[in-house]
Structure 1
């Protein structure tokens, strides 16, 4: 256990992701569970079970965005094609076009990842670089365990921090696709 501002935080060792070399055709034949992404000819298999905090955060972000963007598409866990032979499975995406084949290929306006113990390094180290190079407009990183949300904007392939929301600063507003989005930590992650 470690302490963050007087709050006990259980620190668990991250489960390694399993990587299995396979073709795109083989990847498409995989079952829906366990969830997997495709990176450089390898399936990146995420073995972590869905947890309440993760699921709640994903649903709350969807509930926040849907009424604000009636002309766009708010989706969860839909494949996103990226440059350099990569297919990721973001937790939440905001797109302005519906893909013809079910996989998003045009850069989304925003991608959000809700961190889990098994995917933390993938979501905070590898994916940000891929998402920036893929032209994604904003990247929101949600940490339900540390109770923090970092909201990033793509500035010419580099991430620029728009706002950080945490227990000390629980609210912020960011502009996304011309709409002011209110971010309230307690609403999105609970008290």
Structure 2
């Protein structure tokens, strides 16, 4: 008789996970993140997602000032000991980065939506980044295609731009860039 268990070997039992526990996760192509001590596991994204991510990252990189770094996932953004996220695109001051991660909020966090991550990106990550003081948060929806941009106003995000299809999306902070959502996926 074989006994099945739902407990994953190596995961803490009876306590929230911490940043230190992430080092025990397998290198299996999944994205492992923590939100308030809960493990979030996401599968590898589809081609349309990756295309949008790469094209936007290249546009941001090409327009970035000398003191700013543009990085793509997987790269840890440590908001607290129990909240470590990997935004699809991170824009941060070079001076704020370590060799391993970004200890604190970036200048800009960008998520490209996937069916499996939509609610986490639109609700949980957005909330945690606002609490951490991330001044800019963008969401790219490759299925529409669209880009929505929020700026931190006090403790909450305020929608400041929403472009769809071939309508130009322009930002001046933290990087001056103009893109068309359709061009990110076509």
Q: Note if 1:152 corresponds to 2:172.
A: no
Please give the alpha-carbon distance, in whole angstroms, between the structure 2 residues aligned to 1:100 and 1:61: 23
| Unpaired runs of at least 5, structure 2 | 1-10
- Counterpart of 1:91? 88
Equivalent residues in 2 for 1:21-170, closer than 5 Å: 22-32=17-27, 33-46=29-42, 48-71=43-66, 72-77=68-73, 78-83=75-80, 85-98=82-95, 99-167=97-165, 170=167
Please give the alpha-carbon distance, in whole angstroms, between the structure 2 residues aligned to 1:70 and 1:107: 18
CA contact (8 A) 2:19 2:84 kept: no
Shift in Å at residue 104 of structure 1? 0.6
Please give the alpha-carbon distance, in whole angstroms, between the structure 1 residues aligned to 2:169 and 2:35: 34
- Counterpart of 1:3? none
Aligned residues: 169
- Counterpart of 1:180? 176
User: Alignment RMSD, CA only?
Assistant: 2.0
Q: 1:123 to 1:97 in 2, by over 3 A?
A: same
CA contact (8 A) 2:140 2:147 kept: yes
Shift in Å at residue 148 of structure 1? 1.3
Q: Secondary structure at the match of 1:126?
A: helix
Shift in Å at residue 84 of structure 1? 6.9
Normalised by the size of structure 2, how large is the TM-score?
0.82
| Unpaired runs of at least 5, structure 1 | 1-18
Shift in Å at residue 25 of structure 1? 2.9
Please give the alpha-carbon distance, in whole angstroms, between the structure 2 residues aligned to 1:49 and 1:109: 25
CA contact (8 A) 2:107 2:135 kept: yes
